[in-house]
Structure 1
Amino acid sequence: MKKLVKLSYIKKLHGHMEADNGFIQVLLGPRQVGKTTSTLHLLSQHFKATSDYISLEKVFNPGPEFIVENWSRAHKDKKILVIDEIQKCESWSETIKFLYDENKRLGIKTRVVLLGSSSLEIQKGLTESLTGRFQLIQAHHWNFDESNRGYKLSLDECLKFGGYPGSYPLIEQHDSWVEYLKNSIVGTVVEKDILQYQSVRSPALFRQAFEIIVGYPAQEISYTKLLGQIQDRGNVELVKHYLRLYEGAFLIKTIEKYSNKIVKTKTSSPKILPLAPCLYYLTVIDDYQSDEQGRAFELLVGAQLVRTGWPLYYWRQGKDEVDFVLKKGRRLWAIEVKSGRKKSAKGLMKFKTEFPQASPVIITKDNYIQFEKDPLAFLER
C-alpha cells in the first residue's frame, strides 16, 4: 500500500522557500525518487496560491524565451516560479543568470526553484553561470526507513529491491520488476541524462559497461581490470570517463582510498558503490548468497554515508581493510560493516594505529536502523 512519505530533502526545500532569502533553490537528484511528486505536494499544501509550476518535460524544444516569459509572469503575479527538468532548455543557465542579475540590479528578490536529474549538465550550468546565486538541495534514492514507511518493505527486501519507489508495486511480479528497472529506470537515465548531453564513442559498449560496473558493489577494483571486463581497446581514461558519467547520473558513487597524501588518494583504485541496492540486484536476479547479501548491506550503509555530504573513502593496507572512512573537518571515523560476510576487525585496529585520531565504528543489522535515522549523530555518540 502506497503511503505519503515525508522526505528530508523536501523538508529542507520547504524551509528555504519559507526563508525567502533571494537565492535560486536547486533540487537535484536521481530520476523516479519523488522529486516532482513531493514538490507538487509541497506546493499544494503550502504555496498553492503563491507558486507557478511548469515542467519542461512536456514542452517541445524550449528556448530561453520560454523561461523569460514564465519568469516575467510569475514576477508580475508575485509568485514563486518552479521549473522542472530545467536542463532541457537551451542556454538555461545563462538565461537564469541574466534574469537573476537583472532582478538584483532592480532590487527585486528572486523566488525561483529549479528541479533536474542530469547532474553533469546542471552542475556545468551552475558552476559556469550561477556561482554564488543558488542553494543546492540533494535528493536521494529511498533508504530502508522511507521504503518501509511508504511500502512496508522489510530490510531484506530493501537489500534487493530498494531505491526506486515506483518499482515497489511490481516486486511480486518479478519479470515485470526487472523489465521496469532496466527500461524505465536505467535505460531512461542512460538515454535522457547521459547520452543526450554527453559525448560517448560507443553507446552500445557504454550501456554494456553499466552491468559490469555495478556487478562489483562496494568493492575495490582497478581501472585496468574494468577495462578488461568491458573488452575495449581504449585505455583506463575511457573507464574513468564512463564512471564519471554514471556517477553524474546518480547511479553510482566512486570512493577513493584514504591517505594523508592527496596524490596517493587520487591514483588509487576506486571502490564502486551503486547508490541503490536494486541496481546491484539486477546483476543477480536470484536469492542472494551470504557474501552477496553482505555486499548489498555494505552498499546500503555506504549510500547513507554519502547522504551526509562529507568526504567518504575506504582504506586498505595489505590484507587489512576498512569498509568506509568518513571525514568531517578534523573528525575521522573508520567504519566496518558486518553482516553475512565473515570479516575480521583487524583492519579497524590497524587503521587506528596508523591514524590515532580516528574513531572506530561497527555497523550491523542490529544497529542499522539507529544508524540510518541520523548517521552523523550515530557516529558522534
Structure 2
Amino acid sequence: MIVVAGPRQVGKTTLVRQALAAHPSTFVAADQALPDAVDPFGQQGSAFLTQPLAGSSPNAEWLVAQWMQARAKTRARPDDTCHVLAIDEIQKIPRWSEIVKGLWDADRAENLPLHVILLGSSPWLMQKGLSESLAGRYEPIRMAHWSYGEMQEGFDFSLDEFIYFGGYPGCASLIREEKRWRQYVRSALIHPNIEKDILQMTRVDKPALLKTLFELGCGAYSGQIISYTKLQGQLQDAGNTVTLAHYLELLSQAGLLTGLSKYAGQKHRQRASSPKLNAHNTALISALAGYTFAEAGNDRSYWGRLVESTVGAHLINTASDDCEVQYWRESPAEVDFVLTNGRKLVAIEVKSGATFSVPKGLAVFAGKFADCRQLIVGEGGLPLSEFLSRPAEDWLE
C-alpha cells in the first residue's frame, strides 16, 4: 500500500484526490464526524447496534465497513481492474495499524486487486503504527512544506515574500491582507497542529509548557542556539531539561520546530549539546513575531534571522533520511549549518548583509575537519534563490 504522510496543510489530500480523479476509487476521511446513524427499522437495522452514533468520530467498525465496501466494488468490476481505497487522517482511528494489517493480509491471500492509500498528518503516530504492524507492507511518500520554487510557480511568490510568508499554499492568497493571513496561520495551522496532532495523540503532562515552548522558539529564537537551561529561565513551570527536549522532539515530528544538534563527530557530545532552534516554515515565525512584511524588511537584523531560518527550514524539509542537518560552534567561531551523510561533510554559512566578508567560522571549521566542503549562501556566495532550488543532499555530491 502507499502511505502519504507529512505536516498539515501541505497538500496531501489535494494531491491524492487529483491523482485518483481518473481511476475507480473511494476517498474517505477519518477526521470528519459521521453522518446520520443507521435507521434501526430499515434494511440495515440488523447492523444498528454496531454502528457509531451520528456526529461521533469514525472508529474501528467504520474503518472495516469502508474497507468491505471497497472490496465489494473491486469484486464487481467486470474487467478485473483495481479499485483504490484512500483513507485520510488514518491515525485518528484507534488501533488503525492492526486493523489495516489484518484486512490487507486477507486481500493479499485472496489476490484481490484492491489498492490502498493511507494519508496522515501526525508523523509520530503514523510512524508508530507503521513500524509496529505494517513493516514490509507499504511504500512511504513523505510530503514536506512547500519550497521556494513551488511557491514561486504556484503563487508567483517573490524571494522576499517566500522568506517572510513561508510555504503554506492554503493561505498564499491572503498575503496582501496580512491581518487575515496571520489569523489563518494561527487558527488553521498552529492551533490544530498543537491541540489535535500533539495534545490529543500523545501524553503531554504540561500542555501549556509545550505551547509556550513553540511560541518562544518560533517567535523569538528561531535561528539561534539556546541552552535548555536558558529556555527554563524563559518559561514558567518549565520542568526539567529532559521534558523540554522531549517536547521539542514532539514539535519537530509535527513539522513545526526543530532543535538542531551540534556537529561534534562523537554522538554522545552531539546529544549533550545546546539545540539550535529552527522553524520548519517561516510563516510560523512571521505569524507570531509581530513584524509586518514591510517592518521585517526594514529591520536588517531581524531580516537576517529570517533568511537564516529560511535556509535552515529548506535543509530540514529536503534532507533525506541519511542526510543529517546540524550546526557547529566553538566560541567565538560558529558555522550556521553542517550537512553530513556519514561520509561527506559540508559547512554552510548564510550571509544576508549588504557587505561581504569571509566568515571566520568556516576557516576554523575547515582547520578542524580538513575534508569538509565550504559553502557561502547569500551575499558574496551562492545566490539564495539558487540554493533554495536544490535539496539538501545535492550539496553532499
C-alpha separation in 2, matches of 1:74 and 1:274: 40
Give, in angstroms, the shift of residue 372 of structure 1: 2.3
**1:4 equivalent in structure 2:** none
Give, in angstroms, the shift of residue 102 of structure 1: 2.7
Change (3 A) 1:259 1:205: closer
Aligned residues: 355
5+ residue gaps, structure 2, are 35-55, 75-81
Classify the secondary structure of the residue corresponding to 1:273.
strand
2:7 aligned to 30, 38, 51, which one?
Answer: 30
C-alpha separation in 1, matches of 2:327 and 2:83: 46
**1:227 equivalent in structure 2:** 232
Contact 1:332 / 1:357 at 8 angstroms: preserved in 2?
Answer: yes
Contact 2:215 / 2:288 at 8 angstroms: preserved in 1?
Answer: yes
What code does the residue aligned with 1:319 have? P
Answering whether residue 233 of structure 2 is matched by residue 259 of structure 1, we say no
2:148 aligned to 141, 144, 165, which one?
Answer: 144
Classify the secondary structure of the residue corresponding to 2:388.
helix
What code does the residue aligned with 1:161 have? F
Q: Percent identity?
A: 39
C-alpha separation in 2, matches of 1:340 and 1:232: 38
1:328 aligned to 320, 323, 341, which one?
Answer: 341
Answering whether residue 187 of structure 2 is matched by residue 174 of structure 1, we say no
C-alpha separation in 2, matches of 1:91 and 1:165: 32
Instruction: Give runs of aligned pairs for residues 1-381 of structure 1, distance below 5 A.
Output: 24-44=1-21, 48-58=22-32, 59=34, 60-76=56-72, 77=74, 78-108=82-112, 111-214=115-218, 215-286=220-291, 287-288=295-296, 289-306=299-316, 307-309=318-320, 310-340=323-353, 344-364=358-378, 367-376=383-392, 379=395
Runs of at least 4 residues off by over 6 Å: none
Deviations 1:156-186 (Å, cap 9, x if unpaired)?
Answer: 1111111212222222222222211111110
5+ residue gaps, structure 1, are 1-23
Give, in angstroms, the shift of residue 132 of structure 1: 2.3
**Structure 2 length-normalised TM:** 0.84
Give, in angstroms, the shift of residue 82 of structure 1: 0.9
Contact 2:83 / 2:113 at 8 angstroms: preserved in 1?
Answer: no
**2:48 equivalent in structure 1:** none
After superposition, the CA RMSD in angstroms is: 2.1
Change (3 A) 1:233 1:30: closer
Contact 1:371 / 1:378 at 8 angstroms: preserved in 2?
Answer: no
Contact 2:83 / 2:114 at 8 angstroms: preserved in 1?
Answer: no
**Which of structures 1 and 2 has the bigger CA Rg?**
2
Change (3 A) 1:161 1:38: same
Deviations 1:135-158 (Å, cap 9, x if unpaired)?
Answer: 222111122211121222211111
**Structure 1 length-normalised TM:** 0.87
Q: Which moved more, 1:72-81 or 1:25-34?
A: 72-81
